[in-house]
Structure 1
Amino acid sequence: MTVVTIHEAKTNLSRLIARVLAGEEVTIARGKEPVVKLMPVNTPPQTKRILGTLKGKIDLDAGFWDPLPEEDLALWNGEGSSEAQ
């Protein structure tokens, strides 16, 4: 972890941003006291996703892939309402 003063952060902001985007932790301190941590807006997920982890844990009804009835399909397409108007 890198700790820099506010003055150093203002002087080297572009470099510090590049370091943070490369995965480094940067803390900005007022004097010797840490006050903020510089971090990317979109942090990557901490763990990698593994495909197939729910295999055998979820069962689909036999009719899951059947076409929707016309009435339900019309509702999905925004062509009507199930409530009386």
Structure 2
Amino acid sequence: MLNIDIEQAKNSFSALIEQTIEGNEIIITKQGQPVVKLIALMKKHKKKRLFGSAKGLIKMAADFDKTPEDFRDYI
């Protein structure tokens, strides 16, 4: 969350709106006191997940489903 004085906000309003679209919240202050909170009503669309995109990145040990020796008493 970014706090910014109202005078600074006047000079960079477009940039502040872009920051809110990116997901940031901005508090505008007047004489050190918070007066306005900027939040985005719409957010940038995230990339759609692609099935199989992590193929080859995850590896499992050959014995991942084998019960550990010290755990056999609990079965």
Specify the TM-score bucket, using the shorter chain as the normaliser.
0.5 to 0.7
Alignment correspondent of 1:17: 17
Alignment correspondent of 1:31: 31
Scaled by the length of structure 1, the TM-score of the pair is 0.47
Aligned residue pairs total 44
1:1-85 equivalences in 2 (<5 Å): 1-42=1-42
Larger Cα Rg: Structure 1 or Structure 2?
1
Structure 1 stretches of 4+ with a deviation exceeding 2 A read none
**Which structure would you say has the larger RCO, counting Cα contacts within 8 Å and 6 or more residues apart?**
2
Tell me which amino acid in the other structure corresponds to 1:18: E
Tell me which amino acid in the other structure corresponds to 1:2: L
RMSD: 1.7
The CA distance in 1 between the partners of 2:36 and 2:22, in whole Å, is 18
